[in-house]
Amino acid sequence: MIEKIYHYTDITTLGLILKNKTIRFKRFDSMDDRTETDGLPEMLKKNYFLSCWVLDMKEKIPQWAMYAPQGVRIEMPIRWYKKFLIPIEGTNQYIDKIPLEDNHPAKKMFFPRPFSDWFQQGKKYYFVPPMDDVDGFMVKVKYHENFTELKKQNWKENYQGNGIDLLNQAAPIKYKDAYWSFQDEIRFYLYAGCKHEDRHDMPEYIDLPIDENALKEIKIRLYPNCSKENWQQVKDLISDNFATLDANEIMECSLLDGKYYPKTLDVEDLNP
């Protein structure tokens, strides 16, 4: 069973995560893989929002090179997100699940932002709460040379010709070109609905809060051959945002120290 996941990013983004205690989900059509939306109709290309992580605990040189050449790798529990209680209308009481029949598809639905956030007036779009943790919020990416055909097999226009029927909600973001298989990626996702003519009003991102207990398990590994300045910068970020935690217990050196240097880095300028 997967317990930990990993995210490679720059120090600035790490600072925002630690300060705001949130994880950002970016819109599907803004991913760095420019073929991500191939094989999909226009009305699905802006409706998914993703947070992308790595499953393999072993450090990946391509991930360092592409996403964190002078950054960090964040380690978190796979269930890093909160599940907010649901208010009972007309009372000051809350429940943790919607009371539905056991075979109802929304029986395990949960709300990773406060319940009231999902029903905002005046928006031209809406977010669908995850149906459950696994089949509805996270998906392991599958890599294939014919990834566009796999996407196409999972959607079709409805009989009215004004919408899309999906065989699997995660299918549009589940398949990627085999060229990206080095990522070993797991994705968390949210689906947003809107009228077809309003799809250009979709936001660029949505932020979800991190569970307080998950934050206590965070580990931050610095990039290979990290400079003293960057090490201190990250240490200060931790101290500023986790007053009760010891930065020395959270921070880790890369196991690639002395083994890998990016070509853009002048080895002679490294601190010993």
Asked if the model's pLDDT at residue 264 lies above 70, the reply is no
Q: Three-state secondary structure along 154-192? A: CEEECCCCCCEEECCCCHHHHEEEHHHHHHCEEEEEEEE
pLDDT band at 51 (very low <50, low <70, confident <90, very high): very high
pLDDT of residue 102: 87
CB atoms within 10 A of CB 139: 21
- How distant, in Å, are the alpha carbons of 32, 103, 175, 176 from that of 146? 19, 35, 9, 9
pLDDT at 266 over 70: no
pLDDT (tens digit per residue) in 114-164 = 988 887 777 888 899 999 998 889 999 999 999 999 999 998 877 665 678
pLDDT at residue 263 tops 80? no
User: Tell me, what's the pLDDT at 265?
Assistant: 54
For the chain, the straight-line distance linking the first and the last C-alpha, in angstroms and rounded, comes to 39
Q: Is the pLDDT of residue 271 over 60?
A: no
pLDDT of residue 180: 95
Predicted confidence at residue 90, as pLDDT, reads 82
Taking only the tens place, the pLDDT of each residue in 83-97 is: 999 888 888 889 888
Write down the pTM of the prediction. Answer: 0.91
Query: What's the mean pLDDT in 235-259?
Result: 92
DSSP string, the chain: ---EEEEEE-HHHHHHHHHHTEEEEEEGGGSS-TTTTTTS-GGGTTSEEEEEEE--SS--HHHHHHH-TTSEEEEEES--B----EEPTTSS-EESS----TT-TTTT---SS-GGGGS-TT-SEEEEPPSSSTTTTEEE-EEETTHHHHHHTTEEE-TTSSSEEESSTTHHHHEEEGGGGGG-EEEEEEEEEE-GGGGGG--SEEEEEBPHHHHTT-EEEEPTT--HHHHHHHHHHHHHH-TTS-HHHHEE--TTTTT---TTS-GGGS--
Mean pLDDT, rounded, of the chain: 90
Please, which pLDDT band fits residue 10 given cuts at 50, 70 and 90? very high
Would you call 252 exposed, middle or buried from its count of C-beta atoms within 10 A (0-12, 13-18, 19+)?
A: middle
Closest CA to 222 of 265, 252, 248: 252
Task: Out of 108-117, 121-130, 221-230, give the one with best mean pLDDT.
Answer: 221-230
